[in-house]
């Protein structure tokens, strides 16, 4: 898709609402900041992305196992990981309205379109330097007021459990899924047949008290992560080679599994100042979203920091014993961590096609990720013989693939609807079908139609998905 044909965020949001991909959370009460629900189509697309992630990174690999840990962990976990002490963003407050803003996002917004700041990395500034920058350039809030000095604001959500009282009842909603992997490291070692190098992956909800709004599902308070901790012995495995191998796997997933075009993707290395102190190397895959190049998927070499921290705080050994040499060591990790909502938004933005020639909007989703693989229609809904035959086809196909039934409106309207929700093919049962056991199959992208035998439909869809 060429850049000038790319959708705006507003167009994507409108399509998501119109067709049932994403709705604002609690809309009947006026919504809830940075929170969205996935509708009938969005939940299918989201599930496809998660299933593909799980299949590619866990099921298809002998060196990976899965995990599903809790959202609320023993709070000491977050003290050990450093989240309680320093999982924070620099915030400034509009002195008149008391609204909070992320200082780095305020500066980034101000620099947008200014050629002289093209290569400026805001993350390189300390909190204090961000304050100076805002003052020096007289940057004002969206309401036109001055900002306060920036202060660090912790992103962890706190809640309390009923079974205990006082300070001990305080727990956090996890800020990342990763720590559940580290705290289960010993159990996985003891219960499965894994040997270094190996990885543990998990999909699940994380929570962050974000204050920047207006980026749709890109940045939300509650979001799903797909995280992998890949453990290895740095004396036996060259971390640089492993890192590059993960870079290839991540990019391959985005381009070849999700079907996203490469032109809007890039690798960005974190600068020394920006990188977390425990990380030896961090790269992000950035995607060119309608609001600019933004982080999609991070890859970090976290050394043995997390296991060491959890070991110190729990007093439990999280060492690995080499089965051949009996050497004991703390494994190092490389961590690919992605937000499923960001994969979702990228997939939609990339697939959004304004087909001006045919005056339609098409979601050119790869059939693998499309919510429905085919739509089945009777040509006319008031002809029982057509409806009956089409229902038989629907029932047969839906046992194998998600397919959608539609008998509303005329055939042209049905096609337009299916194009907008990304259904790769439409299958129509007409009067000829009653005679020759064939149907019309219409391709979403080319709009071309062909006749095929009903008995060949399953094979047709299987080839399309391959
Ligand atoms: N365990 C490492 C970790 O959590 P991160 O860079 O903070 O690293 C990983 O988060 C990924 O999670 C990001 O690359 C992004 O895709 C996603 N993510 C982070 N914060 C998010 C938010 N507020 N909303 C949606 N996705 C988010």
Walk me through the domains of the chain, giving residue ranges and CATH numbers: 3-73+173-349 (3.30.930.10), 372-465 (3.40.50.800)
CB of 347 closer than 8 Å to CB of 367? no
What's the rounded Cα separation, in Å, for the pair 64 and 192?
Answer: 11
Any ligand 1 atom below 6 A from CB of 227: yes
Any ligand 1 atom below 6 A from CB of 223: yes
Query: Closest Cα partner for 301 from 251, 237, 223, 224?
Result: 237
Q: Which atom of ligand 1 is nearest to the CA of 284?
A: 14
pLDDT at 57: 98
From first CA to last CA, the distance across the chain in angstroms is: 22
pLDDT digits (tens, 9 = 90+) for 274-309: 888 889 999 999 999 999 999 999 999 999 999 999
- Going from the Cα of 219 to the center of ligand 1, the distance in angstroms, rounded, reads 9
What's the rounded Cα separation, in Å, for the pair 225 and 341?
Answer: 8
- Going from the Cα of 98 to the center of ligand 1, the distance in angstroms, rounded, reads 27
Q: Of the given ranges (43-52, 114-123, 186-195, 427-436), which has the lowest mean pLDDT?
A: 114-123
pLDDT at 123: 86
- Going from the Cα of 225 to the center of ligand 1, the distance in angstroms, rounded, reads 7
What's the rounded Cα separation, in Å, for the pair 222 and 68?
Answer: 17
Residues paired with residue 339 on neighbouring β-strands, in sequence order: 225
Any ligand 1 atom below 6 A from CB of 364: no
Q: Of the given ranges (34-43, 48-57, 148-157, 159-168), which has the lowest mean pLDDT?
A: 159-168
Question: What mean pLDDT comes out for the span 127-156?
Answer: 94
pLDDT at 276: 85
The total number of residues written for the chain in this structure:
466
Tell me the pLDDT band of 5, cut-offs 50, 70 and 90: confident
pLDDT at 197: 97
pLDDT at 4: 56
- Going from the Cα of 287 to the center of ligand 1, the distance in angstroms, rounded, reads 14
pLDDT digits (tens, 9 = 90+) for 364-390: 999 999 999 999 999 999 999 999 999
Mean pLDDT across the chain: 95
CB of 300 closer than 8 Å to CB of 338? no
Tell me the pLDDT band of 273, cut-offs 50, 70 and 90: confident
Q: What pTM does this model have? A: 0.94
pLDDT digits (tens, 9 = 90+) for 302-328: 999 999 999 999 999 999 999 999 999
pLDDT digits (tens, 9 = 90+) for 144-190: 999 999 999 999 999 999 877 777 789 999 999 999 999 999 999 99
- Going from the Cα of 27 to the center of ligand 1, the distance in angstroms, rounded, reads 25
What's the rounded Cα separation, in Å, for the pair 259 and 257?
Answer: 6
Q: Which atom of ligand 1 is nearest to the CA of 219?
A: 24
Question: What mean pLDDT comes out for the span 445-453?
Answer: 97
Going by alpha carbons, the residue nearest to atom 11 of ligand 1 is: 338
pLDDT at 166: 74
What's the rounded Cα separation, in Å, for the pair 284 and 269?
Answer: 6
Residues paired with residue 170 on neighbouring β-strands, in sequence order: 160
- Going from the Cα of 212 to the center of ligand 1, the distance in angstroms, rounded, reads 14
Residues paired with residue 228 on neighbouring β-strands, in sequence order: 201
């Amino acid at each position: 898709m060429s850049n000038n044909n790319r959708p705006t965020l507003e167009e994507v949001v409108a399509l998501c609402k119109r067709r049932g991909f994403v709705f604002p959370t609690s809309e009947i009460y006026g919504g809830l900041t940075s929170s969205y629900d996935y509708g009938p189509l969005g939940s299918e697309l989201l599930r496809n992305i998660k299933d593909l992630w799980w299949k590619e990174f866990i099921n298809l690999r002998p060196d990976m196992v899965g995990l599903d840990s809790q959202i609320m962990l023993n709070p000491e976990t977050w003290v050990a990981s450093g989240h309680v002490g320093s999982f924070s963003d620099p915030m400034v407050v509009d002195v008149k309205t008391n609204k909070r803003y992320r200082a780095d996002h305020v500066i980034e917004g101000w620099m947008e379109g200014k050629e002289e700041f093209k290569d400026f990395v805001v993350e390189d500034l300390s909190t204090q330097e961000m304050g100076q920058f805002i003052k020096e350039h007289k940057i004002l809030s969206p309401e036109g007021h001055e900002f306060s000095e920036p202060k660090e604001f912790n992103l962890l959500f706190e809640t309390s459990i009923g079974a205990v009282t006082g300070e001990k009842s305080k727990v956090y909603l996890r800020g990342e899924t990763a720590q559940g992997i580290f705290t289960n490291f010993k159990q996985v070692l003891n219960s499965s047949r894994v040997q270094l190098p190996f990885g543990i992956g998990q999909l699940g909800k994380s929570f962050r008290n974000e204050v920047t709004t207006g980026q749709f599902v890109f940045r939300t308070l509650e979001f799903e992560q797909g995280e992998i901790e890949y453990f290895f012995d740095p004396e036996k495995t060259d971390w640089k080679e492993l890192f590059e191998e993960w870079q290839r796997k991540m990019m391959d997933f985005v381009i070849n599994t999700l079907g996203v075009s490469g032109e809007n993707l890039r690798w960005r290395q974190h600068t020394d100042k920006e990188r977390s102190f425990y990380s030896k190397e961090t790269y992000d895959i950035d995607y060119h979203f309608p609001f600019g190049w933004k982080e999609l998927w991070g890859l970090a070499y976290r050394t043995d920091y997390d296991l060491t921290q959890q070991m110190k705080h729990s007093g439990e050994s999280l060492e690995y014993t080499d089965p051949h040499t009996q050497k004991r060591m703390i494994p190092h990790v490389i961590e690919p961590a992605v937000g499923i909502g960001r994969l979702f938004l990228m997939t939609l933005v990339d697939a959004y096609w304004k087909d001006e020639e045919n005056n339609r909007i098409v979601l050119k989703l790869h059939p693998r990720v499309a919510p429905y693989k085919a739509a089945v229609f009777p040509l006319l809904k008031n002809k029982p013989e057509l409806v009956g035959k089409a229902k038989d086809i629907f029932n047969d196909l839906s046992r194998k693939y998600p397919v959608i039934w539609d008998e509303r409106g005329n055939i042209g309207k049905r096609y337009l609807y299916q194009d907008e929700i990304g259904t790769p093919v439409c299958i129509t049962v007409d009067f000829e079908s009653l005679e020759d056991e064939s149907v019309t199959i219409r391709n979403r992208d080319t709009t071309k139609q062909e006749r095929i035998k009903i008995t060949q439909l399953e094979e047709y869809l299987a080839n399309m998905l391959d």
